[in-house]
Amino acid sequence: MFRLELTLKAMQLIDLRRITVVGLGLLGGSVALAAAKALPGTEVVGFAHRPQTRRRARQLGIAGKVSGDLAGVVRGSQLVILATPVCTFEGILRDMADALPDGCVVTDVGSTKAQVHRWANRYLPGRVQFVGSHPMAGSEQRGVGSARADLFDGAVCLVTTAGVADPRAVHLVSDFWTHLGCRVRRMTARQHDRVAASISHVPQAVAVALVNATAAGDLPLAGRGFRDTTRIASSPADIWTDIFLTNSPHVTRGIDRVISHLGRIRRSIDLQDRRRIERLLIGARDKRGRMMEAWKQRKGRLT
Q: Please, which residues bridge with residue 80 across strands?
A: 20, 106
Specify the residue, 179 or 183, whose C-beta has the smaller distance to a second copy. 183
Shortest distance, position 8 Cβ to a second copy, whole Å: 27
128 versus 207: smaller Cβ distance to a second copy: 207
Shortest distance, position 185 Cβ to a second copy, whole Å: 7
CB of 97 to a second copy, least distance (A): 25
Which CB sits closer to a second copy, 64 or 263? 263
Shortest spacing between CB 78 and a second copy, in angstroms: 29
C-alpha to C-alpha distance for 154 and 255, rounded to whole angstroms:
29
CB of 113 to a second copy, least distance (A): 14
CA distance 239 to 158: 18
Least distance to a second copy, CB of residue 101, Å: 34
Residue with smaller CB distance to a second copy, 127 or 267: 267
Specify the residue, 63 or 196, whose C-beta has the smaller distance to a second copy.
Answer: 196
Residue with smaller CB distance to a second copy, 120 or 158: 158
